[in-house]
Amino acid sequence: MEHEKDPETVKALEAAQKLRDQAGQEAKLRGECFDKSKKEFESGDKGKAKELSEEGKKHGALMEEYNKKAADAFFAANNKGRDDYSIDLHGLYVEEAVERVKQRFDKIGRKGTLVIIWGAGNHSEGGVRKIKPAVIDILNSEKVKFDDDTPNHGCCTVYFSGKEAVPTAPAAKTTPAVPAASPTPKPSSGKTTTLPVTKPAKPMEETKCCSCCCVM
């Protein structure tokens, strides 16, 4: 469900759409020039064919310029008031959407949680969403977790830091070692026990090294 937009945003979106329309008109003129250029070339008038080809290229450059301005205008209007962790791709072509998603990844340093709004496809040709599969390809290539249709239909939530934080297991408590109890001396029976005297061991004679020793 789309939120109701304020009059300023509506006006900005209308201006963005006009730029798209101008880009579409330039694309049409470019195609016409290229078609005529081809016919002139086939008829043998290579000079006229080149002239029409150059004119077509000019229309192509204008088309790209209008599309860039339109993409910037759509993106600015639809993301007004949003922070860096939410991005709305409405009004963008697939290539434009992919570029902005990658830019946002870099901007937030691939950290935290990012909500990507790609829409339900109501404005796409045939009602088939084109931006969604392109964005999912990026997420899969980045090997990040995401939930489709979260928090709402037409968007997804990306978890750069993992979907859920894994709690750290508490360290095992170490029981201090209990010193062994000294044996309890038995009560004396009154008799004196004579222990045998142990003679000290003779000191070992120093081993003399002969000249046949060798170092490995």
By the 8 A CB rule, do 61 and 23 touch? no
89 confidence band (pLDDT: 50, 70, 90)? very high
Token pair for residue 168? 């750290």
- C-alpha 17/C-alpha 91 separation (Å) is 8
pLDDT digits (tens, 9 = 90+) for 141-170: 999 999 999 999 999 999 998 554 333 334
Mean pLDDT for all residues in the chain: 81
Which DSSP string corresponds to 142-180? HT-EEEET-SSTTEEEEETT-SSPPPPPPPPPPPPPPPP
The reported pLDDT for the residue numbered 145 is 95
Token pair for residue 173? 């408590």
pLDDT digits (tens, 9 = 90+) for 55-81: 999 999 999 999 999 999 999 999 999
Closest CA to 97 of 83, 87, 84: 87
- Say if residue 109's pLDDT is above 90: yes
- Say if residue 21's pLDDT is above 70: yes
The reported pLDDT for the residue numbered 216 is 33
Domain ranges of the chain: 1-73, 82-163
Cross-strand bridge partners of residue 145: 159
**Interval 202-216 mean pLDDT:** 38
Q: Is-above-0.85 flag for pTM?
A: no
Q: Which strands form 113-117's sheet, in the order they lie side by side?
A: 86-88, 113-117, 155-159, 145-148
- C-alpha 10/C-alpha 1 separation (Å) is 17
- C-alpha 85/C-alpha 33 separation (Å) is 44
Higher pLDDT, 118 or 185: 118
- Say if residue 206's pLDDT is above 50: no
- Say if residue 198's pLDDT is above 70: no
25 confidence band (pLDDT: 50, 70, 90)? very high
CATH T-level assignment (fold) for domain 82-163: Ribosomal Protein S8; Chain: A, domain 1 (3.30.1370)
